[in-house]
Amino acid sequence: MGGSSAAASLGELGYNVKVFCINDSPRRAHSIAAQGGINAAKNYANDNDSVYRLFYDTIKGGDFRSREANVYRLAELSNVVIDQCVAQGVPFARDYGGMLHSRSFGGTQVSRTFYARAQTGQQLLLGAYGALNRQIAKGNVKVYTRREMMDLVVINGEARGILVRNLVSGRIERYGAHAVVIATGGYSNVFFHSTNAMHSNGSAIWQCYKKGAFFANPSFTQIHPTCIPVHAKHASKLTLMSESLRNDGRIWTPKKKEDVERLRLNTLQPSQILETDRDYFLEEQYPAFGNLVPRDVATRACKRQCDAGYGVNKIGKAVFLDFSDALLRLGRDEIEDRYGNLFQMYQKITTVNPINQPMMIYPAPHYTMGGLWVDYNLMTTIPGLYAIGEANFSDHGANRLGASALMQGLVDGYFILPYTIGDYLADKIKVPFTDVNHPVFDETEVTIKDRISSLFSDNRSNSADFFHQALGRIMWKKVGMDRSDAGLRFALRKIEELKSAFLEGIYVSGSRYDLNYELEKALRVSDFIEIAQLMAFDALNRKESCGSHFRREMQTKEGECLRDDISFMYVSAWEFNGIDNPPILHKEILEYDYINIIERNYIL
Ligand SMILES: Cc1cc2nc3c(=O)[nH]c(=O)nc-3n(C[C@H](O)[C@H](O)[C@H](O)COP(=O)(O)OP(=O)(O)OC[C@H]3O[C@@H](n4cnc5c(N)ncnc54)[C@H](O)[C@@H]3O)c2cc1C
């Protein structure tokens, strides 16, 4: 969505834009999955919202690890995104009087999330896609579908083009440019099981990193509290149950272990457990925010509950998300109106209707706050290379608040990049168009072809999925919700072993000059293995807990994050230093002039 919105706006400004995407249409980008909504400080609910408050909530939500100026600009521009989308015809929910309706998401005490049932991403993407098509028709934008970026071309220190693999013919194609914008989304699929689309990958940002763009805060990855738990050995994707459900759903586990046992044996139904025997642990522990605490806080609380033996499914890794109170208060029609398609999705996957029984949910990898380091203009450390949306690190610090990814992606695409990129391009007016026969294109193509060739050998036997699953197990156990010095060192050793095993054992069937999903997967998995190394390395370096980065050694007595502002109030921006050497750390020190730095607390 970031890419479509940027291309549409750049086209409108008269730039000549080329768009590349893996899917058969930009309309099928992963953003289509976004459910719950998009934030804006409109204050239509008249509940004391303001630009400052959205700015404050976002900085606090990110545990004081994001850049103040960027977040203020994000909050300011949030409102025009809603206006733009309404003008495009995005069918946001409206109240009885016709005003745009809003609801609450985690980490806020106001209603600032605008939504279109649980299909907000799809509707926003359709808006951006419509704007993009307008520019295609005008001839300003050309879209190349079924193309996967394989490498960045850097000539004389500046980004001057890309090479892509045509996913249908298998041919490598060259494209020159005066500037390159990366909008390729996040890398949560490094965990194998995640809520992200199967095509979501970290390869493009990894190629840019290897060409000199710094990678910021790679270990800041978000585990979302409310997902349908893994329930089949070969399941490859997890399904999110939107945070919007926590507006009306209450999270609980039984207070008594014997009830837990009987639930697991299926001799007791949740509805038979007395109100007094239920532990609404989020409401108890965080009375000011209740079920709407931010994701990192809710995730840890669910994990603590399950680790203490109160998990409610057969393997003890689930808590209830219960709508029975809301059904009594609001009635079935209203609840179905609000969440009907999420309920249908849940029922299709689990066969249980959440109207009759509470959902069972468990945390799962969902979003990556880390990404390419960008300056205030969204330019990376390579001149002429920009990164927007989830692909950059910009605004969310150590934890993203719900409904703020769409806000950031569209703010970046519609309202920041189109204006900042001119700062760079203004000097390029006399620079001739990049010649794709330049020797750097030749060298880059040879490297890509060699890499692809190295994956084909008849003497090997393990699939890309085999290695991806193995990587996911290491990452989930040691670089997931609960990190420690020993665990991270163990992970680094295991990932190194896996890397060697991959090189010696990966088997790719089919041909390189054809549609070949196995080859696509193998290339992405090999990048995921290297990204995983950088994530673990960064997590090991950051000897504090903040937001979603929870180091077991650094916690309060309540089990919350213990930040170390003296030593770690910085963005870690890593520079590639050759494949066999450790990366170089650059610190962007964070300074807060307009906000009081406090211990993050959702109790009061
Ligand atoms: C289930 C789910 C629900 C969510 N709900 C919400 C929500 O309610 N509100 C909210 O704010 N956020 C939500 N999010 C997060 C949000 O959807 C994403 O952060 C956001 O959509 C990312 O947008 P993007 O434009 O940066 O990237 P994407 O939408 O991921 O698009 C990336 C594009 O890049 C292309 N691409 C990737 N790699 C390459 C390559 N190498 N070469 C060529 N093309 C490439 C892909 O084909 C794709 O078109 C949700 C996320 C999930 C998983």
Going from the C-alpha of 251 to that of each of 328, 331, 410, the distances in angstroms are: 16, 19, 31
H or E segment and range at residue 102? strand 102-103
Q: Which of 250, 295, 542, 563 is catalytic?
A: 295
Q: What does the pLDDT read at residue 32? A: 93
Sign of the Cα pseudo-torsion (111, 116, 117, 123, in order) = negative
Q: What does the pLDDT read at residue 202? A: 97
* Residue 501: both structure tokens together: 């095993």
Q: What does the pLDDT read at residue 459? A: 87
Query: pLDDT, tens digit, for every residue of 543-583?
Result: 999 999 999 999 999 889 999 999 999 999 999 999 989 99
Query: pLDDT, tens digit, for every residue of 252-264?
Result: 999 999 999 999 9
Sign of the Cα pseudo-torsion (392, 396, 399, 405, in order) = negative
Q: What does the pLDDT read at residue 601? A: 81
Determine the atom of ligand 1 nearest the C-alpha atom of 390.
Answer: 26
Q: What does the pLDDT read at residue 181? A: 98
Residue numbers in the chain where pLDDT is lower than 70:
604
Q: What does the pLDDT read at residue 231? A: 77
Residue 226 neighbours by CB under 8 Å, 6+ apart: 240, 241, 242, 243, 245, 246, 298, 321, 359, 361, 363
**CA 364, chain centre distance (Å):** 12
Q: Is 295 a catalytic residue?
A: yes
Choosing from 21, 102, 191, 416 the residue with most ligand 1 atoms within 8 A of its CB, the one to mutate for a pocket test is 21
Going from the C-alpha of 516 to that of each of 382, 413, 454, 526, the distances in angstroms are: 32, 31, 15, 16
The answer to whether the CB of 124 is under 6 A from ligand 1 is: no
Determine the atom of ligand 1 nearest the C-alpha atom of 118.
Answer: 8
Q: What does the pLDDT read at residue 335? A: 94
Choosing from 9, 30, 414 the residue with most ligand 1 atoms within 8 A of its CB, the one to mutate for a pocket test is 30
Q: Cα of 485 to ligand 1 centre, how many Å?
A: 31
In angstroms, the CA 464 to CA 111 distance is: 44
The answer to whether the CB of 149 is under 6 A from ligand 1 is: yes
The Cβ of residue 499 has, within 10 Å, a number of other Cβ atoms equal to 18
Q: Please give the torsion angle defined by the CA atoms of residues 245, 248, 249 and 250, in that order, rounded to the nearest 10 degrees.
A: 140
The answer to whether the CB of 21 is under 6 A from ligand 1 is: yes
Sign of the Cα pseudo-torsion (351, 357, 363, 367, in order) = positive
Choosing from 152, 199, 239, 390 the residue with most ligand 1 atoms within 8 A of its CB, the one to mutate for a pocket test is 390
Rounded to two decimals, the pTM is 0.96
The answer to whether the CB of 110 is under 6 A from ligand 1 is: no
The answer to whether the CB of 406 is under 6 A from ligand 1 is: yes
